[in-house]
Amino acid sequence: MKPIRRLAIVVNPDKNGATELGRDLAAIARRAGVRLKQTSRSTLPRGWLDGSDACCVIGGDGTLLGVARESARAQVPIIGVNRGSLGFLTTFSTEEARAHFAELLGGVFHIDHRAMLDCSIGPGSHDLALNDVLIKDAINSRLVRLEVVADNELVTDYTCDGLIFSTPTGSTAYNLSAGGPIVHPAAGVIAMTPICPHTLSNRTIIFRDSVKLRVFNRSPDSSLLVAMDGQRNLKVGTRSPVEITIARQRLPLAQRAGYEHFAVVRTKLKWSGGFVEKK
């Protein structure tokens, strides 16, 4: 990749050690002659990343999710440094960042383009999600009846606590906690997982990435809430369907040389099987 000459840094000051790490990485960047801009805002205003070559996000996956929409819009790669807990998205550890940041600034990384979901609740009302779209009752966790249509074909209607629509990237987030499958980030699919369905045969359904999904509220006394990446909420009218597709924009995510997805999964989920014999 080309060397980074203009760097944006987003630091979550609520994460232990993030502020200090931000200062250290900024010092490395200044010594390399890189122009900097920095913020601790959890959600970036439109245009804030324009002109940047990359954005270093220091925090947890939630911090990165707050930057993802603007990064995808501006096509500015994110370098995620983990100061949170699991860190499926912020894949650089503190030690890796400190040891290799000068190399990253020199362009020693590759870009992984991650699929995002485009969710619409009506003309001019839509948002992007990197991990998932959650549809549930707007008031509490009572059961709702949700009818799902895929490309004008009825799938079924669910009596459940809600539905999770997940990208492959988001398959290790809420989808996994709800019993859904782990999906490789390069797979071209959308996973739909019901939350506490009242039919034992209701399980995750995998759709191709060109599908157009529509969800209708069939509970007459219930209004819906649509949560994007667990951070932003859209309120849905009683008659408006929720439409979900793969977005045109993809998130450019910087990965270190030698990055392996399942090595991260094994580490974060504490799987065994770390030894692979080299041929």
Q: Do 65 and 36 form a contact (C-beta atoms < 8 A)?
A: no
Instruction: Give strand ranges (E) for the chain.
Output: 6-11, 35-39, 54-59, 78-82, 110-122, 125-129, 132-137, 144-150, 153-160, 162-166, 189-195, 205-208, 213-217, 224-228, 232-236, 242-255
Cβ atoms of residues 37 and 102 within 8 Å: no
Q: Measure the CA angle with vertex 131, ends 258 and 127; round to 5°.
A: 130
β-pair partners for 9? 38, 56
Active site residues per annotation: 61
Burial of 140 (0-12, 13-18, 19+ CB in 10 A): exposed
CB proximity list for 118: less than 8 A, separation 6 or greater: 126, 127, 128, 244, 245, 246, 247, 248
Query: Rounded to whole angstroms, how far apart are CA atoms 223 and 237?
Result: 7
In one letter, which amino acid is 166?
S
The contacts of residue 131 (CB under 8 Å, 6+ apart) are 65, 166, 167, 169, 170, 173, 174, 229, 230
Q: How far is CA 119 from the centre of its chain?
A: 14
- Collapsing DSSP states into helix, strand and coil, what is residue 37? strand
Distance of alpha carbon 274 from alpha carbon 265, whole angstroms: 11
